[in-house]
Amino acid sequence: MSQISNRRGLLLAAMALPALVLLLTVYSGGRSSAFQSGAPTAYSGPIAITPDDKFVWVVNPKNNSVSVLRVEGDINTKVATIRVGKEPRSVAITPNGKRAYVTNMAAGTVSVIDTVSRSVIKTIKVGTEPFGCVVSPNGKKVFVTNQSSNSLSVIGTGTNSVILTVPSIGIKPRGLAVFQDFEGGNNVYITQLIARIRNDARPAVEKEGRDDGYEGRVALYRDNPVLKTTLILNPMADTGFKSDGSTLDNIPPDGVFEFPTGAFPNLMSSIVIKGNRAYIPATGSSPNGPVRFNVNVQSLLCSLDLADNVDSNETINMNSGVQFEPVGTRLFNTNPIAVAFKKSTSEGFVVLAATNRLLRVVLDADGTPTINAPTGPGDPGGIVRVEVGKNPQGIVLNSTDTRAYVMNFISRDVSVVDIQDGSPTKFQEIDRIVSAAQPTAGTLVAIIHRGNELFNTAIGPAGTNDNALPPAGRMSDFGWGSCYSCHPDGLTDGVTWMFPDGPRQTTSMESTGEHPQPPGSKLNGNGAPLLPDFKQRVLNWSAVRDEIQDFELNIRGVSGGQGLITDGGAVGNLTPTANTGRSADLDALAAYIAMGIRAPISPFRSIASTDSVILEGRKLFDQAGCDVCHGGPNWTRSRVNFTPPPDTSGIVDGQLVAFLNKVGTFDAGAFNEKRTAGTSIVTARGTDGFNIPSLLSVFAGNPFNHNGAAQSLEAVLNNLTHRTAGSGGVDKLDTAAKRSRVAKFLRSIDAATPTFP
């Protein structure tokens, strides 16, 4: 391609595609860089292999360390553990094998490790909550995504210092892949974890809850010449599964599953380059109701055409066809989180975090993937899965395409998988290398860890129903869904779901219980919170649950599982009995949700006590009476103040009405204020008000309000009824300037922020 045609093609592609948003145009002078198939590439992940194939490095997020494993000749043994910063998430090794770089998410740093001495030689301060890191193919730069400051840090390996910070690289940037073009420029592709609302003419309330209301986004940063661009991954129009009616289209259920469902790519943690495409595994969100386990979430593999930097529009749903597998084999491919391809063939492996498997994927000549699923009843198909450890998160292959190494987050080990050419059915795990110690059995830490396992799995303990028999389990229907599917790291997926109560924005779970719990908090013998002594907020937007264990109903209903309660008794919200203590596993899950989820760190934490705008915003927040609802240690007045089950006199229409507040956020005439009730579409719950959400780390949770109608904190504050609810109707935030200051204060709130009484 000539210099002129190369630049002209790039600019024409940008102008012709409204989905491609140019944020920074190409600098004048020099040639534009173009993708070349076969160009040197690299990608980020929690596991890496040295260039000589002798050692595998893996992060241990809960142990604040990195393990070095010797794998040459299948020795497969741990040879070193290196202490790094708090919560390491990604490791990258230079092409010469001399240095390793590790992102420490909670510490906000990158550890530089000498691979010979296996010692940390420098710690580099980067942005807030660094997640992914990748070394450029020429070894001169390290690129780091900062999830909470939405920025990209560029480290020069010569000085091991930050040489550039690229702001506004995307919302919650995570995974990276880079190729080096013929001019030596680095082209860095960066996934945004959470899908974003589509930029079209529809009002927000007409997109919130829609299967096509959001889109996946990948940022492209190029350093020579400089370009910063956002690429769009389009929603999938037809997932291959149908629903019984459509809440938003006013089509009530009639017992016939005939309404096609779509899904948009969400929860995108990684990206890799193979041939002329970049591949992105994603959990597909399909939020329109009625709620049914096999139409709410899907397992997508998306791809970008790197020649034009556009969606290839060949996304596949890796769940489609699995329904035709026989019982005993059937297992849905839930929460694809990473992928790696062989260098010598078109074969690759998708990491399935929730079902503890690798899934074989094959590319055709054009790069279109397939998993060779059955096409109908009686067709055996050709799906190949390989069982690995618990909650796998990342994968690397050796240079000869004979071994895959898989980082398993919950089992804290690395699976060694034989992937030599031959019959794919012979691919198998041949070894498991311990990377970090498990918590001491019987301790509260171990209970929380078990809860973390159950939160992230779609399998769980074996059940007795067909859909819960191995390889499936009690947590979902044939491994269909997991808590992670809507709550990555226990937080929010940013989706407004059309639930039986109405449109409900996913609630982030870090604020379920106060942190740290005050003296006097009590746990049962399974480590589960005992209410009301344990300080916990009332649950869900409509205050329809008091115990975390009530989410047994989500396991059974939303995920279609057999459930963890096995005593044969009825399970209900609120009444007639308490659900705490009925299952050790369910109690462990409650312990994790109440005590094991870390609140995101605000990018303003370091300046919150000195920044004049934040300090003024805090004063205005107080003067406007916002603390009347959002005061207390957990930034909400909502707190369970009784021993479950509650008195039935306090329950109206299934809601604990004493915890509901009317603040002007419910509009019965809004497009998405609907819910499916039996065989009818009716107005959503909200007339009686809503349960007060916590403001802990609220910066990380947009959109806002129960139905996603407020796309920013400024939009929240623009609601006059809401902002005067704590001041007796007197508007203390009567100018845009005042509201802007309060919004900045709100964005500074995290676990380190002093609360109001």
Q: Which amino acid is at 124?
A: I
Sequence-ordered alpha helix ranges (H) in 579-719: 584-595, 612-623, 627-630, 713-717
pLDDT of residue 28: 25
CA–CA dist 397, 422 (Å, integer): 17
What does the pLDDT read at residue 291? Answer: 86
pLDDT of residue 294: 83
Q: Which of 143, 162, 182 is the last residue of a domain?
A: 182
Which of 532, 563, 595 terminates a domain? The answer is: 595
Mean pLDDT of the chain: 94
Burial class (CB in 10 A: 0-12, 13-18, 19+), 12: exposed
DSSP letters for 161-176: EEEEEE----SSEEEE
Q: Which pLDDT does position 469 carry in this prediction?
A: 97
Q: How far apart are CA 494 and CA 703, in angstroms?
A: 7
Over range 696-724, report the average pLDDT: 97
177 and 291 co-located in one domain: no
Nearest to 150 by CA among 715, 739, 741, 700: 700
- Beta-bridge partner residues of 517: none
Q: Quote helix, strand, coil % in the chain, to nearest 5.
A: 15, 30, 50
The tally of domains found in the chain comes to 5
Q: What is the pLDDT of residue 518?
A: 82
Residue 25 has what pLDDT?
31
Domain interval for residue 628? 605-748
- 12 pLDDT above the threshold of 80: no
Tell me the angle at which helices 736-748 and 612-623 cross, rounded to the nearest 10 degrees. Answer: 100
Q: Do 28 and 43 lie in a common domain?
A: no
Q: Report the distance separating Cα 726 and Cα 622, nearest Å.
A: 9
Report the percent of the chain where pLDDT is more than 90: 91
Whether 162 and 234 map to the same domain: the answer is no
Say what the pLDDT of residue 14 is: 35
> Is 325 a domain residue?
no
Specify if 510 maps to a domain: yes
Lowest-confidence segment of 233-242, 417-426, 573-582, 632-641 by average pLDDT: 417-426
Neighbour-count burial of 106, counting CB atoms closer than 10 A to its CB (0-12 exposed, 13-18 middle, 19+ buried): middle
Clarify whether residues 585 and 618 are in a common domain.
no
Q: Which of 6, 346, 14 is nearest to 185 (CA)?
A: 6
**pLDDT greater at residue 5 or residue 155:** 155
* Cβ atoms 88, 58 nearer than 8 A: no
Q: How far is CA 235 from CA 176, 198, 238, 415, in A?
A: 21, 10, 9, 33
Question: Where residue 80 sits, what CATH number does that domain have?
Answer: 2.130.10.10
Per-residue model confidence (pLDDT) at position 34: 58
* Mean pLDDT value across residues 685-710: 97
| Strands 130-135, 141-146: pairing kind | antiparallel
Contact between residue 676 and residue 289 where contact means Cβ atoms under 8 Å apart: yes
How far is it, in rounded angstroms, from Cα 752 to Cα 380? 55
How far, CA to CA in Å, does 326 sit from each of 113, 310, 330? 49, 38, 6
Both 642 and 591 in one domain: the answer is no
In a domain, 440, yes or no: no
CB neighbourhood size of 59 (10 A): 30
Q: pLDDT tens for residues 521-568?
A: 999 999 999 999 999 999 999 999 999 999 999 999 999 999 999 999
SS3 at position 511: helix
Q: CA-to-CA distance for 710 and 698, rounded, in angstroms?
A: 13
Q: Is residue 566 domain-resident?
A: yes
Mode of pairing for the β-strands spanning 413-418 and 55-60: unpaired
Residues 6+ apart with CB under 8 A from 309: 10, 13, 20, 220, 229, 231
Question: Where is 90: in which H helix or E strand?
Answer: strand 88-93
Which tokens sit at 583?
A: 């299952």
* The predicted structure's pLDDT at residue 18: 33
* Residue 636 predicted with pLDDT over 80: yes
755, part of any domain: no
Give the pLDDT confidence of 240-256 residue by residue, as tens digits: 999 999 999 999 999 99
- Tokens at residue 560, please? 């279609």
Q: Is the pLDDT of residue 519 over 90?
A: no
Q: Give yes or no: residues 615 and 743 share one domain.
A: yes
DSSP letter assigned to residue 437 = P
Same domain, 274 and 347: no
CB within 8 Å of 744: residues ≥ 6 apart: 604, 611, 613, 614, 617
Q: How many CB atoms lie within 10 A of CB 641?
A: 13
The verdict on residue 754 lying in a domain is no
Average of per-residue pLDDT across 51-65: 98
**Which residues, other chains included, contact 341 with Cβ-Cβ below 8 Å and sequence gap of 6+?**
272, 274, 279, 347, 348, 349, 363, 397
Q: 336 in a domain, yes or no?
A: no
Place of tokens 């630049």: 7
Domain boundary, last residue among 137, 162, 182: 182
Residues 544 and 568 in one domain: yes
Same domain, 621 and 678: yes
Are residues 83 and 172 both part of a single domain?
yes
Distance CA 56, CA 49 (A): 4
Q: Could you give the CA distance from residue 455 to residue 78 in angstroms, rounded to a whole number?
A: 28
Residues 621 and 558 in one domain: no
User: pLDDT: is 270 or 19 the higher one?
Assistant: 270
CA 306, 311, 314, 319 dihedral sign is positive
Could you read off the pLDDT of 412-433 as tens digits, one per residue? Answer: 999 999 999 888 889 999 999 9
pLDDT, tens digit (0-9, with 9 covering 90-100), for 144-161: 999 999 999 999 999 999
Do 52 and 26 lie in a common domain?
no
pTM over 0.85: yes
Residue 165 lies in a domain: yes
* Tokens encoding 570: 């009825």
Q: Are 641 and 532 in contact (CB under 8 A)?
A: yes
Mean pLDDT score, 87-96: 98
What is the per-residue pLDDT for 293?
A: 76
